Amino acid sequence: MSAIRIDGKQISQQIRSEIAERVAVLKQKGVTPGLAVILVGEDPASQVYVRNKERACIQAGMASRVIRLPEDTPQESLMALIDEINRDEKMHGLLVQLPLPAHLDEAQVLKAIDPKKDVDGFHAINAGALMNGEKAPVACTPQGCIELLKRSGVELCGANAVVVGRSNIVGKPMAMLLLRENCTVTICHSKTRNLKEFTQKADVLVAAIGRPKFITADMVKPGAAVIDVGINRLADGKLCGDVDYEQVEPIAGWITPVPGGVGPMTIAMLLKNTLEAAERHGR
């Protein structure tokens, strides 16, 4: 039997229409949720991501402000702009598109964003809140993975969950969210010995590695829910995930494709974080 294919496009569309309804309600109360995005430089992938975020905001009925700055923008100018948006009542969310040009101090930039407006959930205060189980903006990609699992009916309570990858933006918050759902969580990384021994025991396996087709069928427990966060470009220009989809799909219980799995959920969760920041602001 082959796995249930988790359709992130369809689920994200559903979430986006739910968000649009909540935005309409908020607008009737006189609050239009607003998202400001700062893009520094000309990175082509970042330009596409920012355009998609802008379009998604507008489609949901939100206000969007995109500020494009030149590659050689000095740190002080960027910090001054963040300060200005932090004080802008109309903008409930603010994100700085990463990666930044090498001369800019990313850690300082992320720290400067008002945690209440930090819709990426990258600020240390929000990462700490997630750890403590407090309500705060949560990183979009891992939040999207949880939504995919829940809306697909995967039983999380008591499940063995293995996250491969420990980045601050995906792996670590993913592990915290799975723990919050009462999974027994293991985090693996590049120094893990005998990785396969861990992944083979996973009822829920999340791959956030950045290596094409790294997770092969022999690493997966039959019937497991396999969430592929990876986005890798192959030599022929095609996108592929961290999971060898063709090999794993026949044995998994659920699987996300790449593209069309986790990717579309990230923007949906960004909209959700922005909406919730506006709802909190309006209270």
- Active-site residues, by number, are 53, 97, 120
Q: Does the protein bind ligand NDP through residue 166 (CB under 6 A)? A: yes
Whose Cβ is closer to ligand NDP: residue 49's or residue 63's? 49
Exactly one of 113, 255, 263, 269 binds ligand NDP (CB under 6 A); that residue is: 263
229 burial level (CB within 10 Å; 0-12, 13-18, 19+): buried
Q: Does the protein bind ligand NDP through residue 259 (CB under 6 A)? A: no
Query: 108: number of CA atoms within 13 Å, CB side?
Result: 10
Exactly one of 81, 188, 215, 224 binds ligand NDP (CB under 6 A); that residue is: 188
How many other CB atoms sit within 10 Å of the CB of residue 46? Answer: 16
Q: How far is the CB of 36 from ligand NDP (least distance, A)?
A: 20
Question: In the bound complex, which residue of the shown chain has the CB atom lying closest to ligand NDP?
Answer: 167
Stretch that binds ligand NDP, among 85-93, 98-106, 127-135, 159-167 (CB under 6 A): 159-167
Q: Does the protein bind ligand NDP through residue 189 (CB under 6 A)? A: yes
Whose Cβ is closer to ligand NDP: residue 257's or residue 263's? 263
Amino acid in the structure at residue 97: Q
Stretch that binds ligand NDP, among 60-68, 86-94, 108-116, 205-213 (CB under 6 A): 205-213
Query: 249: number of CA atoms within 13 Å, CB side?
Result: 11
Whose Cβ is closer to ligand NDP: residue 41's or residue 257's? 257
Taking the C-alpha atoms of residue 267 and residue 258, their distance in angstroms, rounded to an integer, is 15
Tokens of 278: 């506006």
Amino acid in the structure at residue 67: I
Where does residue 239 fall: left (phi above 0), alpha (psi -120 to 50 degrees), or beta otherwise?
beta
C-alpha separations of 99 from 8, 40, 106, 253, 258 in Å: 25, 9, 8, 35, 22
Stretch that binds ligand NDP, among 12-20, 93-101, 109-117, 167-175 (CB under 6 A): 167-175
Whose Cβ is closer to ligand NDP: residue 31's or residue 204's? 204
Binding mask 206-245 for ligand NDP (x = CB under 6 A): --xxxx-----------------xxxx-------------
Whose Cβ is closer to ligand NDP: residue 31's or residue 198's? 198
DSSP lists the bridge partners of residue 98 as none
β-pairing verdict for 204-207 and 225-228: parallel
Taking the C-alpha atoms of residue 179 and residue 172, their distance in angstroms, rounded to an integer, is 11
Q: Does the protein bind ligand NDP through residue 191 (CB under 6 A)? A: yes
Taking the C-alpha atoms of residue 127 and residue 82, their distance in angstroms, rounded to an integer, is 20
Positions in the binding site for ligand NDP (CB under 6 A): 141, 164-167, 169-171, 188-192, 195, 208-211, 229-232, 262-263, 266
